[in-house]
Structure 1
Amino acid sequence: MGSLYWFETMDNGWERRLKQRIGKGIGIALLLGFILINCISFSKVSGEDIQHFVSRQGVWGPLVYMGLFAVLPAAFFPVAVLALGGGLAFGLLWGSVYTFIGALVNCALMFLLSRYVGRERISAYVQKRLPPKWQARLANAGGPQGFLLLILLRLIPAVPYNLINYAFGLTDISFGAYMLASGLGIIPGTFVFINIGDKAQQTASPAFWIALGLLGALCILTALLGRRLFPETGKMDKQKGMDASHGTKNK
């Protein structure tokens, strides 16, 4: 029994070291990829560039596109550009399907990177870019309110998709809850942006303007929903403004 216990302990230790080395290796590879990708000016890449690139891949085009969506946002490539390219390349139906799959893989990848690989550096990065009130809210993201918050943030087009992926990896939300909320939250935005990409070559048609109208409607509806679900956020902003004004008067 003693020798068996020793073997199990040794085996667990070996597995732990192996996992640590694999994790570090993946982290280094992704860091190098991040540096390489950022050497390219993202501002010069358009949805049409994405369309042309994946279209040249033939039958592998869908897989290549999903791979791009799974990896590029980790380096803060704009997901809207990817989605527009997907709409141009594959149309509304299949563009939505491929984008949804690629986005879910990316959500999982960035969450796991944040939680297990580059936690300290990612935490410092997120803290510099996330307002204090949202940091306080995310500190209690493991419960039902955190689940609803993630769905809401996924719905709002103006909220940085990449930053949210990394930020929630630093919270105590479970991986399953995170993936479920992400899957539910990205469906409307995926449809809206893919629809714009699908209609982008028909700018004179009513369908294109309807697609833009859907984007505007999504922004308005999610803003109203956010105020309804989290009314204290608006109160905090109002109180902060009143305090600042009061301080100015005292001076």
Structure 2
Amino acid sequence: MPKPKRQVQRLLVLGLLILVAVLLAYKYRGALSFDAFAQHREMLLAYRDSHYVAAVATFLVIYICIVAFSLPGASVATLTGGFLFGLFPGVIFNVAGATIGASCLFLAVRWGLGDWLSAKMDVSEGRTKQLKDGIDENQWSMLFLIRLLPIVPFFVANLLPALVGVSLFRFVVSTGVGIIPGTFVFTSVGAGLGSVFESGEMPNLGVIFEPQILLPLLGLAALSVLPILYKRFSRR
């Protein structure tokens, strides 16, 4: 099949996936909210207690779909993982669901657009070529940096690597390891939701920006930048 025709077909499939994601986000916009979670928490606990393995499998499938289709509700899903399964193994389930879902999105974008865009950037000139070369030269550092910094939206961190030709292995490893600190924090918040519900309060989702949490994350991000700085100053 000629390359232009094959590329058009890939773009059509990618466009269809985007349409499905938009429709799902519209249809389930209320079901993936914290209010819906709080309303059905007793039912969720009862299902977990009577069908633990099925509850884990269902939770993982839902989490993967949320991330893969970039649906709103990833934070609520992480809280749910902590609430249902505790800090451990809840954090393991959350990291697994987020990593698998992100990898699915990464593969879909790379299959539909990433290879073509990466090739275009390789033959381009100026700042675009410099940006592509900079990312290629420091892939590990850049991948960990966008995962560790809480200011980078999760779906953006899933899309950018696919658009610049990052390998699947590097993407999976950097995602699985890089999201552990933030996921650990939100899972711990979810694990303590029982007492929050009893007191009639709302969980503090801004806890990740508090100094005792944010400063260690920024420290890890700074460590990921050190190889880039070392290369630059060693050349000078």
Please state how far the C-alpha of 1:49 moved relative to its aligned partner. Answer: 3.5
1:6-85 alignment, distance < 5 Å? 27=14, 30-40=17-27, 42=29, 45-47=32-34, 49-50=36-37, 52=41, 55=45, 56=47, 58=51, 59-73=53-67, 74-85=69-80
Q: Which amino acid aligns with 2:151?
A: A
**Quick check: 1:149 aligned with 2:142?**
yes
Unmatched tracts of structure 1, length 5 or more: 1-12, 124-132, 232-251
The equivalences for 1:132-171 within 5 A come to: 137=131, 140-143=134-137, 145-171=138-164
Corresponding residue for 2:183?
A: 190
Aligned mate of 1:99, from 78, 91, 94: 94
Larger RCO: 1 or 2 (CA < 8 Å, sep 6+):
2
Say if 1:195 and 1:211, in contact at 8 Å, map to a contact too.
no
Of 39-48 and 195-204, deviating more is 39-48
Q: Which has the larger radius of gyration?
A: 1
Q: Identical aligned pairs, as a percentage?
A: 21
* SS of structure 2 residue aligned to 1:172: coil
Q: Match of 1:113?
A: 108
Equivalent pairs counted in the alignment come to 203
If the length of structure 2 is used for normalisation, what is the TM-score?
0.67
CA distance in 2 between counterparts of 1:193 and 1:142 reads 31
Seen in structure 2, the aligned counterparts of structure 1 residues 214 and 34 have a Cα distance that, compared at 3 Å, is closer
**What is the CA distance between 1:140 and its match in structure 2?**
2.9
Unpaired segments of 5 or more residues in structure 2? 119-126, 227-236
TM-superposition CA deviations, 1:51-85 (whole Å, max 9, x none): 74755473422111111221212234242121011
- Whether the aligned pair in 1 keeps the contact of 2:110 and 2:165 (CA below 8 Å) is no
CA distance in 1, matches of 2:21, 2:203: 36
Give the distance between the partners of 1:186 and 1:103, measured in 2 at CA.
Answer: 9
Q: CA RMSD in A?
A: 4.2
Q: Distance in 2 between matches of 1:118 and 1:218?
A: 36
Q: Contact 2:33–2:76 (CA<8 Å) still a contact in 1? A: yes
By how many angstroms is 1:194 displaced? 0.5
1:68-121 alpha-carbon deviations (Å, 9 max, x no partner): 22121223424212101111122111211211111111121111111112559x
2:230 aligned partner: none
Contact 1:148 1:181 in 2 (8 A): no
- Match for 1:80: what amino acid? S
